[in-house]
Each structure stands twice: as C-alpha cells, then as structure tokens.
Amino acid sequence: MDYETFAVRVEALRGRLYRTACLYLGSQSDALEAVDEAVYQALRALKRLRQPEYFDTWLTRILLNECHRELRRRRRFSPAGEDAIPETAGPDAYDGLPLKEAVGRLPEDLQAVIILRFFSGLTQAETAAALDIPQGTAATRQRRALELLRLELREEELS
C-alpha cells in the first residue's frame, strides 16, 4: 500500500477511530492521542499488512491496543476501587449512570463489542474480526451488554 492510499484509507476511517477511542478513554485529548499513536504505528508497520482488504480491521485493532495500553497505564496510577462494578452485577447497577459512563464501566469484553458495534459502526462480522473472537461470541456479548444498559436497538438504527 502506498502513502496516498494509506492517507485516503485513514481519512475515511479517522472519525470512527476517534469515536472508538473517545468512548474507551472518555476524554477528547486522550482519544486524539490514541488515534495519532495508532496511525503512526500503522504507518510504521504498513509493510507487514499482507492483506490490504483487512486494513480497517487491522487499524482498529491497533487502536484498541493503544486504548488498552492507556487504560492499563491509568490503572497503574489509580487502581480500581469503589468505582468498579462487579462483573456479576445486573442492569440495576447501571441504571443510574449516564449512558457514556455506563458504557465505560461495562466489563471489558462487553464494552469492546458495544463500542465497535453501536458507536463505531462496525458490522457484527467486522466487530468479531477486530476483536479476534467468533461471530457467535460477539452476538452473545452484544445481547448481554444491551441488556445491562437496557438499550433496545434495531439493526437499521445502528450508526
């Protein structure tokens, strides 16, 4: 893939990347930084992308790695305390929270599916590919996350 193509593909994808990072990290500046880092890492490793048709998924995964890295870094400085919602908690635990915060406090595996599927606009197959999980698992996690958030969406309503 040459520079021009890379630039065009990133341009088409950058809004989605930003939205993903924004929900993961909660702040605009951190999201912008994560997107910058992901695009830079992708540019460095472009030669290793053997199937350009998977560029979007590949770059999304790089971004997710960056977001996880930032979240790990934050946890080192501020370990999870009373803010954490137990993984076994039901929808009641999320009811009082604004949606953005509720998404941010979902269990990690459910959160990833929700962000990619409902805010970044990936299809279920793309979501599964980006997270390297079977499509059935993505569907199960999507259903569980929607239940916890008490959010009812039809396919045609997805972003």
| Residue 25 · residue 31 · CB < 8 Å | yes
| Residue 42 · residue 91 · CB < 8 Å | no
> The tokens 């890379």 sit on which residue?
6
Q: Which is nearer to other proteins, 19 or 141 (CB)?
A: 19
Choice from 25, 39, 63, 131 touching other proteins (CB under 8 A): 39
The site map against other proteins for 41-70 (x = CB under 8 A) is -xxxxxxx----------------x--xx-
Choice from 59, 128, 131, 149 touching other proteins (CB under 8 A): 149
Contacts 24+ apart (CB under 8 A), 42-48: 42/6, 42/10, 43/6, 46/1, 46/6
DSSP string, 109-120: HHHHHHIIIIIS
Choice from 84, 90, 100, 137 touching other proteins (CB under 8 A): 100
Does 40 bind other proteins (CB under 8 A)? Our answer is: yes
Structure tokens at 61: 């995964």
Name the residues that contact other proteins, by CB under 8 A: 1-4, 6-7, 10-11, 14-15, 18-19, 22-23, 28, 32, 35-36, 39-40, 42-48, 65, 68-69, 72, 98-100, 118-119, 149-153, 159
